[in-house]
Structure 1
Amino acid sequence: MNAAQISHIEASHRLVAPIAEPAAAIFYRRLFELDPSLRPMFPADLSSQGRKLMQAIGFVVAHLRVPDRLLPAVSALGARHAGYGVQRQHYDTVGQALLLTLAEGLGDAFTPAVQDAWESAYALLAMVMQVAGQGSEAAAQQAA
């Protein structure tokens, strides 16, 4: 990611942060529209889950310029998600839901440059999470 992409993410996140609760609701609505089979992986009441999602996104945005702090936390998140049953293909669905949410929440502010920035950030973070998830799966298999 380059500095311009990070700036686009930071600026667009400032627009999303005030609407965090509805944005989280949009995200989960989109996620389950894209893949209804994911619904059982989540609690019935998504309010707490939505807050966690928005906190995680806020953490990522706040630390994009500090990869030494960001990437270990994202790696740990990926290892935890593997334990929840998250599979490789789920990352694509989550990425689509994120972009649809941003498009809906940002409206005209979701420019091609902003979309490209979020796609780049998500691709990097998803890769880090997947690698960590594979490591935790391998460790579990060795322990069994």
Structure 2
Amino acid sequence: MTPRQKDIIHETWQCVIPIGDTAAKLFYDRLFEIDSSLKPLFANTDLSQQRMKLLKSLNDIVDSIDNLEALLPEVQALGRRHLAYGVRDENYDTVGAALLWTLEQGLGEAWSEEAAEAWAAAYALIAEVMVDATRQPDEAIARAAL
């Protein structure tokens, strides 16, 4: 990611924070609209709590965008947990599409091609770390699920 892309992530996230819960609702609605087969993964999930977790994860990523190394263990553990929940590699593309759509809706005029590229780059990086973490030995995955 370029320094300019990191700046854009910081700037646009500040516009999302005030509408966080609405944005999270939009995200999950869009996610299930794109791929309804993902809905059963959330059957036993309190979606209001899940929305808060999503916002916290995104906030942590934005806060650490200048030093993602510090966030790697947390993102790797997140990837392993998602594997245990039944998330497959191909689901990451759907999540990315839902996230970018949500940001576009929530940011309105603040959304630009440059913002789309910055967020797509950030998401691609995070998704890659999460997927790579799921390819570690089974015992590491089992420890992460605890």
Contact 2:83/2:134 (8 A) holds in 1: yes
> Gaps (5+ residues) in structure 2?
none
Shift of 1:107: 0.6
1:139, CA displacement in angstroms?
5.8
Alpha-carbon shift at residue 68 of structure 1 (Å): 2.0
Report runs of 4+ in structure 1 exceeding 6 Å deviation. Answer: none
Q: 2:14 maps to what in 1?
A: 14
User: Which stretch has the larger CA shift, 10-19 or 35-44?
Assistant: 35-44
> If the length of structure 1 is used for normalisation, what is the TM-score?
0.92
Q: Is the 8 A contact 1:75 1:132 kept in 2?
A: yes
CA RMSD of aligned residues (A): 1.6
Q: Which amino acid aligns with 1:110?
A: W
Q: How does 1:1-144 map to 2 (within 5 A)?
A: 1-42=1-42, 43=44, 45-135=46-136, 137=138
Contact 1:74 1:129 in 2 (8 A): yes
Distance 1:86 1:32 in 2: 14
Residue 18 to residue 92, structure 1, CA distance change in 2 (3 Å): same
Q: Residue 109 of structure 1: CA displacement?
A: 0.6
For 2:99 and 2:4, the matched residues in 1 are separated by 20
Cα distance in 2 for partners of 1:56, 1:28 equals 15
Worse-superposed segment, 122-131 or 72-81:
72-81
The answer to whether the Cα contact below 8 Å between 1:82 and 1:136 also exists between their aligned partners in 2 is: no
Cα distance in 2 between the residues matched to 1:21 and 1:33:
18
Unaligned runs of 5+ in 1: none
SS of the residue corresponding to residue 66 of structure 2 reads coil
Sequence identity (%): 45
